[in-house]
Structures are given as structure tokens and as C-alpha cells.
Amino acid sequence: EMYRGAFRQFGGMNVTWIKPGDADSLRESVAAEAATTYALAADAEKRLQLVERRWSRVVAMFVEPVQGEGGIHVMGADFLAAARALASENQFPLVLDEVQSGMGRCGSFIASHRLGLRGDYYGFAKSLGGGISKVGALLIERERYQPDFGVIHTSTFAEDDYSCLLALKALEILERDELAARCDESGSYLLGRLRELQGRYPTVIKEVRGMGLMVGVELAEQSQSPSGLIRLASSQQALSHLATGYLLNEEGVRVGLTLSLLNTIRLEPSAYVRRADLDRVVGAFERLCQVIERANAGRLVRYMAGVRSGGSAEPVADWRGRLDANLAAFEEPSGEPQVAFLSHLMETSSLVLWDASLAEIPAERRDAFLRGIHRVVKPAVTRQFRIRSAAGAAVHMRVVSWIATSSLIEEALRAGDTEWLDEQIDEMVEEMRREGCRTVGFGGYLSIVSQNCKRAAVPGVALTTGNAFTVAIGLEALRHGARERGIDLAASRLGCVGAAGNICSTYLRLMAEDVPRLLLIGRAQSRLRLVKAAAALYQDAWERISRQRPEELTGLARAVFETRSVRRLIEGDARPSSPGEWLFDSLHEEFGGHHFVQLSEEMSALSDCEIVVTASNSATPIIFPEHLSPRPTVICDISVPADVSPSVAEQRPDVLVLRGGIVRLPDNDELVLKEVMLPPGHVFACLAETALLGMEGYPHNFSFGEITKAEVEWIREVARRRGFGLGYVTAQKTF
């Protein structure tokens, strides 16, 4: 399609494409161009008559006897006979393109001769220059040739002595060494050996085609391969690219692709190729077939990570029985609402969770592999499954994955180099809309890149970051952890890392209803946003004080109620336009610092917090044992990948680290998302929110831009009604 599209830009040009070798379609296409004109003419008696003349609008027909870039298709006898007959009947010339198939490559000087086809024009190039010079030549039937053509039409680079001398020498060698016969003999042997290979590996090789030493090997599609990478490459017509790279780097065999049929590998060796070399090529193809059949993507692409080949004697490991069959299972929609979720790899180690065979790439080389492919490999649907509610309602979920880690996307964000990602996001949202998805959710760093979906708005589809339900389920996890550790929220201090962000600022406002003191941690450049978040907390506290009786107050509102600053507001001594901002400044002056809501850039400030929520945008851990309180502590880590270092669990058994935002589905125990290290029947809250919105038929964007307390409360109620609850919360990776 990418090659055909270029022809559509010419206004008024009628272009028809037909399947190679389809004689009936060829006849229909030529017949469609038949035209009739009428003219006045005088007969012998000088009477005017209307004379009918039938003619064809076709000015010429171009045919490759053996298609090159089209996939090495040898045109059949019926098709070629039809082409010759149509050209003769309609009086337009038949132009034969022998640029690739000529010069003996197909077993005779021109392939058309071997196929019994005579043309009016013949085009030659490439091998005519003997591999040294670029030269082309046109052979024309004598009765069609215009003698003045060569005089009137000139070219700076035409008919130069150097190229013509080399072309003449190439023709001399062609005849002297009987190269056409060599190509015929070697080609017959190679085609025979490759067809034997096809018989042994029918799930890998779809077809072997060709004539002489112009050979094509078409790879079969691999939609059912247990290997995630092989499936993905096949779906994007990139498997042949990986295969040719494997053959070159692992086997020392250089081959090419056909440009218009990308799943076909082209073999066009020299006419002087030895039988032993052909055997070596067939052996290399057999090992390639083993690699693909055995779902060994690691062996297929390890050269891209700089892993050196072990040679042809190195056995090919079989990964078919060791890969997760669930990853290849695609449930098709059956009438239920459709939704989609955009995701990416959490970290480099996630690569082998998605495709275990990539463990053949050493761990220290996998990052280099991902860096090499993450912008080239397009995102694609990697999972399709059904999610059901407790009452039996269902949605069909498509998971679209980017083969890029959080750290790679973070690097692009910091460098301001996200145009490639923006384009891919827009394309995938539009594709999911065309597939019938009513809601599209954004996971991980994709919500950050899209500025909480605002840069990816597409008419006709609702978007969500899933942040509202992430907050709702995280709050439940946090309260669960506090009860388990015996921590009284009313007497504790909450530390929030990434407090300037959308998720954490909402956590703070909701937790401030229970917790009297809060710590907001953020980067220096986010200071103004931290101040704004602190002012919002005081504004909420003042509004609660204004509408509730003193004995009903809890959390931050109760803590500040007895202060002199709040008394001034209650008694009317101060009437600021923004009570929250005024309280932020007044309480700082009253207590000589930020006593109730503290701002900091240092992780060490967490040492006075019994409750911690962390939702930074860091791709690597930022919270370590030395940062934490010596008292029992609960941490709710919402970040993916995690903000909390594994060393916390190792060195601080009194610290409970919870994976925030994990949801247990009500009736989906068969669903296993091992690629994101979740136990059966569990998903991330952002994906769960996407499913819930689909079940509800919610037609608008949700968790779009800044989330609100109202959104958190609404989605929490929807989840309760649908049976979506708090999931497995421990942070230890035991599944």
C-alpha cells in the first residue's frame, strides 16, 4: 500500500492494481479502457458519413516476466499469453522489464524467452554494468524504433564510453562462461533444496518461488507463535528484516528483501556460486527455521545487542514449552462494549516477562537491545481479553504495548524529544477508534507524555488516565496497611513524594481528612506547584471548618482549628479572597515555619512520617532505608516502575510496602498478566478504570487533565457496584 499510494497523487490518473498472474483481471482492466470515437467522413459520392473508430486508452503495458520487488513471482503462461494477445489486439506495445530477470539470471539471456513471451520493448540495467558501472539499455523492435530519437533526445550521461565498454564486456563474459546455463543448473539445485526445507518447516516457510538464480523465500505469518517478539514482528511485516539480520550476523550470509512484499527474502547469488556455498546457505536457512519454529526470539535478535554468534554448531534452544501461552491467546469481541489500554514495558527486566526467550540476551545487554529497537518497532495490540463484572456485564479489552521502558520514555521527555511518541499515540488512539473502542486508557508514562490525555484528544472516543481509580484504590490500600501495622491515622504524619503531581495532590486532599500533618516532597523546579497544593489543603480545611461543628472535625481541619490564624478567620478579623493561600502564609508566621503542611526537596524529611505515598515520575528507585522513620511505617508505592528500593524490604521488616493501584477483578481468575508481574485476576487500577467506564457506557473523557475528588468518589462507587475491589497489595515480587 505504501508504494501504491504514490500513484494516487496524480490527479486524473486511473490506476488499477491486479494480483500477479491474474489473466482474467488483466483482460477486465484493458477492456475497461476501451473507447469509441466518431468522425465525419465523405464517401466516394461525397456524402458525409459518421465513422466509428474503436481504440484503447492504454498506451503501453509493462510486465516483469519474473517480479523482483513484487516478491519473486514467475508470471504464468496464461497471464503472459493474455498480455501478448491484448497488446496486439489493442495495438499498444508490450514493454518487458528484464532489469532483474535478464542477463542470464533466470536460466536464459532473458526470462521472457524461457517463458515463451515476445515483447516490443526490453529494458536492461544493473548486471549489464558488470557490477562496476551503472548502465541501462533499451531494446526496441525495429518497426517501432524512431531513427531520430537518438539524435533529438540526448543526455549528459548517455552512451558514455566507459559504461558502454563495461556493458559490452559483461555481454562477452555472459556468453563466454555460459552464465545462463550456470544459473539454470545452480538455480534448480537451490530451489529444490529450499523446497525440501519448506516441506520440513511448513509453519515457517510459506512458499519458495523463482527461476534460475532469482529465488524468493516467503515467510509464513506467525500470529500463533508463543514468542511475543516474533508475533509482533510478523504482524508489522518486520520478521523478514530480523531474519535477514540473523542470516548476516549469525550465519555470515547476506540476502535481501523484496520491497513490495516485505515477508519475502530474496536470494540472487552470483552465477559463479559453488555448490558448497549453496549448501551452506540452505543450512543457514534451516537454522533460521529452527529459531522461528522454536519461538527463540532471543537467538533471532541477539546480534542487535552485540552478542557474538556461537557458530553453526551452536544448538538452537526450544522455547515453545517455556513461554506463557496466555500471551498468545487473543479473545475476539462478541458484541460487548470494546475498550483499549495503552501501555509500555515498566523496566528492562519486563522484557523477559513479555517474551521469556529474550533471556538468551544477557541481562547486561538487554538495555542496549531496547535502545536499538524502541523507536523502530511500532506499538501493537499484544493482548485481547474479556473483563467481567460481578453481575456478569463484560467489556472486551485490547492492550496496546510499546516496546519501550519507563526510563527510555523518561529520557525522551527530559530531552523534549517526544514527537515520535506523540505521533504513535495519536495513530493508535485513532486505530482503536476505528476498531470500535469507545474508551481508551493511558498507562504509565504515556499519560505523562500526553499531559494527562489532553494532547491526544481524538473525536469519537473517550480518553482516561485511570488516575481517579488509582487514587481510590490506593487510599483503600493505605488504610488497610495502617490497620495492619497498628498506625493511628489521626495521630500520624503523611509524607507524599511527587506531591506536585496530579495523583499525589489528590491523595493529599483526601488523606488530609484523616491525617493532621502532611509533608509535600518535590523537585526544586516544582516549588510553586507545591505551594499551590499546600494552599489547596488549607482551603479544604477551612471549608470543612466553615460547615462542620468542631466535634465533627478530623485530620488537618481539626489540627488547625485552635490556631490563632483560624480564629482570625472565624471571628472575621481577616477576610482574604483566598483563605487557603492566606492560611499558608499566616500559619508559617504564627509557628515560625510550616508546622502542619511542610514542603521539602529532601527524601530525608520522610524520617518523621509513619505513612508515605509516592508517585514520582522517576524510572529508578528514589526511596531507601536511610530515608525512613525508625518507627513502623506504611508506604503506598503507586509508581510504575517502583519508587521504593528493594533494599527497604530487605533491611526494614517493620516497613510495609504496598503496591498501590492494584485491583482484584470479581470474576476473572483465568486472566493472568505475568508480563506486569500481577497474580491471576488482578490488573492495575488505570486499566480497571478503562474497563469500568466501558461497562458504564460513559461517553466523555474521564480522569482527563487534573482529576477531582468528585471523580475519585464516583469511580469508587462504580467499582463497588461492579465488584472491583482492593487487590494483592504486598510489594514483594512473588508471582
Q: Tens of pLDDT along 282-319?
A: 999 999 999 999 999 999 999 999 998 888 789 999 99
Among the residue ranges 7-11, 423-427, 551-555, the one predicted with the least confidence is 7-11
Q: Answer yes or no: is pLDDT of 7 > 90.
A: no
pTM here is: 0.83
Question: Quick check: 693 pLDDT over 70?
Answer: yes
Half-sphere exposure of 212 (CA within 13 A, CB side): 29
Tell whether the model's pLDDT for residue 181 goes beyond 90: yes
Mean per-residue pLDDT, 224-253: 94
**Alpha-carbon separation of residue 262 from 196, 246, 330 (angstroms):** 23, 16, 25
Nearest to 346, CA basis, from 650, 655, 659: 659
Joined together, the cell numbers standing for residue 127 give 548486471
**Please, which pLDDT band fits residue 151 given cuts at 50, 70 and 90?**
confident
Buried b (16+ CB within 10 A) or exposed e, 22-44: ebeebeebbeeeeeeeeeeeeee
pLDDT of residue 52: 86
Closest listed residue to residue 562, CA positions, set 595, 519, 601: 595
* Domains of the chain from N-terminus onward: 4-176 (3.40.640.10), 181-322 (3.90.1150.10), 325-469+666-726 (no CATH)
pLDDT at 135: 92
How much is the mean pLDDT over the chain? 91
Longest CA–CA separation in the chain, Å: 123
pLDDT band for position 322 (50/70/90)?
A: confident
Q: What is the average pLDDT across 596-610?
A: 94
Range with the largest mean pLDDT of 43-52, 642-651, 674-683: 642-651
Number of C-beta neighbours around residue 544 at 10 A: 19
Q: What is the pLDDT of residues 72-105, one digit of tens each?
A: 999 999 999 999 999 999 999 999 999 999 999 9
- By C-alpha distance, which of 396, 462, 452, 403 is closest to 429? 462
pLDDT category of residue 367 using cuts at 50, 70 and 90: very high
Angle at 310 between CA 307 and CA 316, to 5 degrees: 100
Task: State yes or no: pLDDT of 239 exceeds 90.
Answer: yes
Residue among 489, 530, 543, 531 nearest 511 (CA)? 489
Place of cell 485476576: 681
What is the reported pLDDT for 431? 95
Cα dihedral 153, 158, 164, 167, rounded to 10, equals -100
Q: For the residues of 564-587, what is the DSSP string, one character each?
A: HHHHHHHHTS---S-HHHHHHHHH
